[in-house]
Amino acid sequence: MSQHLSKTAAPSPAETEARIRLHCLPELGPKRFKKLLSAFDSASSALSAPASAWRTLGLPAACSDARRSSEVREQANTTLQWLEDPDNQLLMWDSDRYPALLAELSDAPPLLFIRGDASLLELPQLAMVGSRRASAPGLDTAHSFAKSLAAGGFVITSGLALGIDGAAHQGALDAQGKTVAVLGTGLQHMYPARHRRLAADIVTNGGALVSELPLNSPAHASNFPRRNRIISGLSLGVLVVEASPSSGSLITARLAAEQGREVYAIPGSIHHPGARGCHQLIRDGASLVESIEHILEALRGWQQISSSAECPAPARHPLLDLLFAAPQSTEVLVLSSGWPLSDVLAALTEFELEGRVSCEAGRWYAR
């Protein structure tokens, strides 16, 4: 989605408020949000357009009728006050700081609310997901893998749920690594309540909490499958540790495969119901993982890049810097760099001949 929108400077305060108000409207998802901005050029113009223009675009009456409600205005004001805290940030999909991998999704969130270090979203991430009712061995495995991967330089991304998610976040923290929690609620509604302390620890230790939902959004069953596309969309790959065939983790794995991400699964006993989801993924083509080396081998290069990120290094070509942040399509590279297409293609060809980049499934990877 974002690859079809040019990157812009930070919007004016009035436009920022208008986008937040749009985002608070009922029944207005990412695709309808984009349709409005494409039709009216700005959120401010969209809000002031007549209801008939909204109907012409096929938007439901619930959207246009709520535009001037006091509740929507109050939500926008609350969000603007929340943004006064330096730990809180708002990323918009046409911002040059919006994570490039996530921007490739057709339904990328138009707004991302972030508490903590937003720059982590551009670093190499590996998602770890699994059952909320995981076994003790499953929790130990998730913690151990997350700890090793975080120590190796990957940001561990998960959903803050009970079970495997929580063990993965904690494993990253115990390695003094970084972790990102993508919530299925607004950032002012920590869910589950048992993980409020974990959420606070994530921010305190340099991680980030992320949500596409308005700040005051409570827990609702329909929002958790939606947030799974963000978990996989931010990541280079998804590791499923333990899951039943009906687990939401399999939704994340399916989305990852559709997004062109790597999918990994840890096998278990044929007698353990929590292993059946992973076995199904392996039958469907996921990579079977028995040790951390299996993942590092599949994603070789990223570990070295991440672990040496703080070491002094010679200046790199600007395009390589973009690719070290995340794999990108040629079109996204053109938008991100501001270079003409011919210059980008010429540089990529030279890098490919030198063995410094490779192109797979339409995306360029730094090597």
Q: According to the model, what pLDDT value does residue 305 have?
A: 46
Tell me how many degrees the CA angle 275-231-159 measures, rounded to the nearest 5: 70
* For the chain, domain boundaries: 7-84, 118-303, 314-366
At the topology level, CATH places domain 118-303 in Rossmann fold (3.40.50)
pLDDT greater at residue 93 or residue 209:
209
Helix, strand, coil percentages (3-state) for the chain, rounded to 5, are 50, 15, 40
**Which residues contact residue 295 at a Cβ distance below 8 angstroms, ignoring those fewer than 6 apart?**
126, 145, 149, 237, 239, 264, 289
Domains 118-303 and 314-366 share a fold: no
Per-residue CA distances from 46 to 8, 10, 36 (Å)? 18, 18, 6
pLDDT in tens, 159-211: 999 999 999 999 999 999 999 999 999 999 999 999 999 999 999 999 999 99
Tell me how many degrees the CA angle 193-93-13 measures, rounded to the nearest 5: 90
Q: According to the model, what pLDDT value does residue 179 have?
A: 98
Residue 22 near residue 47 (C-beta atoms within 8 A): yes
pLDDT above 60: residue 313: no
Does the domain made of 314-366 have the CATH classification 1.10.10.10?
yes
Q: What is the mean pLDDT of residues 219-241?
A: 94
Element (H, E) at 248: helix 248-258
Q: What is the mean pLDDT of the chain?
A: 88
- Predicted confidence band of residue 9 (pLDDT cuts 50, 70, 90): low
pLDDT above 60: residue 311: no
What percent of the chain stands above pLDDT 90? 64
Per-residue CA distances from 329 to 247, 332, 348 (Å)? 32, 5, 11
Q: What is the C-alpha separation between 164 and 109, in angstroms, rounded?
A: 25
DSSP state of 3: G
Q: According to the model, what pLDDT value does residue 47 have?
A: 94
